[in-house]
Amino acid sequence: MFFIKANYSHPSFKLGMKDISSAAPGVAAWGMMIGVAMIQSGMSLFDSILMTLLVFAGSSQLAAIPLLVAGAPLWVIWATAFCVNLRFVVFSAHLRAYMMSSPRWQRLLAAYLTTDLTYVQFALRFETPAQDLSGQRSEQAYLAGNSFLNWISWMAASLLGISLARYIPSNWGLGFAGILALVGVTCSLATSKLKRISCLIGGVAAILFFTLPLKLNILFAIGCAVLSCLSLEMLHIRYMRRFGIGSHD
C-alpha cells in the first residue's frame, strides 16, 4: 500500500508511478467522461461523488448508471456490475502467487486499487512471481506506486468531470482517449506470436458475442482466446517434439 513506508521508500514505487504516468492522460480522460456521464444521466451530485469515491471501476459504473437512474432492482444492478467485473476474477487468479506473501488486509486493499491498467503493467514488469523477500518487496512497492498515481488521476479527473458536466458536450468523444490508452498497453503486451493471436481472437469473439447481455461478451472472448491459444501451444509442442526442433517463443 502507498502509505506503508517499505513501499513508498522503495525504488520500484517510482517505477510503478512512471509506468502508469504514461497512460495517465487516458485514465484522466476516461475518468472525466464517467464523471460527466453520471451527472448528465440524471444522478444527484451526492450520489455521483459517493459513487466516484467508493466504486472506483469505470466500466461497472458506466453499466450501473442507467440502471440506477431507471430505478432497476438492486439485484439487477449488482449482478450487472459483477458480470462486467468478472475479468478481475480472472486477473486475481493470476495475481494470487504474487500476493499471498502479504497480510490479508493489505492484499484486499491492494486488490481493490488494482484496475485493468495497473494489472496489465504489473504482469508485464513481473513475468514470474518472485521467490525471495526482496523480490516480493519490489513487486508490492511497484503495485502500490502504480495504483496510487492511477487512483489520484482517476479521482481528480472524475470529480472534475462531475463539476464541469454542464459545459462538456458528450458528443466530443473525449472518452475515446481512454480506449487509446488501452490500445497502447495492448501493443506493449503483444510480445509473442501466440499473444498476438490471443489479441485477435479476443477482439473478434467480443464482436461475435456482442449481443449477449451484461457485457458477458468480454468474458466469453477471454475464454475463447485462452482456450485457442492453449490448444495451439500444445499442438505446436507436439509438432516440435515429433520433428525434434527447438522450443518456440
Partner 1 sequence: MTEFWHITAILGLALITLLTRSFFFISERQWQLPDWVQRGLQFAPIAALSAVIIPEIFMFHAEFSLPWTNARLFAALGGILFFVVRKGRGQVVLGTIVVGMSIYLPLHLGLGWN
Considering only residues 201 through 230, tell me which ones interact with partner 1, judged by CB under 8 A.
201-207, 210-211, 217-218, 221-222, 224-227, 229-230
Q: What is the widest separation between alpha-carbon atoms in the chain?
A: 66
**CB 212, min distance to partner 1, A:** 11
**Residue 41 to residue 66: CA distance in whole angstroms:** 7
* Residues 114-173, interacting with partner 1 (CB under 8 A): 114, 116, 119-120, 123, 172-173
Among 15, 159, 160, 199, binds partner 1 (CB under 8 A): 199
Among 6, 156, 200, 240, binds partner 1 (CB under 8 A): 200
**CB 2, min distance to partner 1, A:** 16
User: DSSP assignment, residue 212?
Assistant: S
Total length of the chain = 249
Give me the DSSP letters along 56-109: --HHHHHHHHHHHHHT--HHHHHHHHHHHTHHHHHHHHHHHHHHTTS-HHHHHH
Q: Is 2 helix (H, G, I), strand (E, B) or coil?
A: coil
**Residue 147 to residue 118: CA distance in whole angstroms:** 6
Among 17, 62, 64, 141, binds partner 1 (CB under 8 A): 64
Q: Tell me which residue has cell 461523488.
A: 49
Among 68, 155, 159, 214, binds partner 1 (CB under 8 A): 68
Q: CB atoms < 10 A from the CB of 5, how many? A: 7
Choices 113-121, 135-143, 152-160, 241-249; region in contact with partner 1 by CB under 8 A: 113-121
Q: Which is nearer to partner 1, 9 or 240 (CB)?
A: 240
Among 11, 96, 170, 239, binds partner 1 (CB under 8 A): 96
**Residue 38 to residue 160: CA distance in whole angstroms:** 12
Choices 5-13, 75-83, 133-141, 148-156; region in contact with partner 1 by CB under 8 A: 75-83
**CB 76, min distance to partner 1, A:** 10
**Residue 195 to residue 81: CA distance in whole angstroms:** 28
**CB 30, min distance to partner 1, A:** 10
**CB 248, min distance to partner 1, A:** 13
- 85 scored as a contact of partner 1 (CB under 8 A): yes
Backbone φ and ψ for 43, nearest 5 degrees, come out as -75, 150
- Cβ(160)–Cβ(53) below 8 Å: no
Choices 1-9, 86-94, 132-140, 156-164; region in contact with partner 1 by CB under 8 A: 86-94
* Residues 174-193, interacting with partner 1 (CB under 8 A): 176-177, 179-190
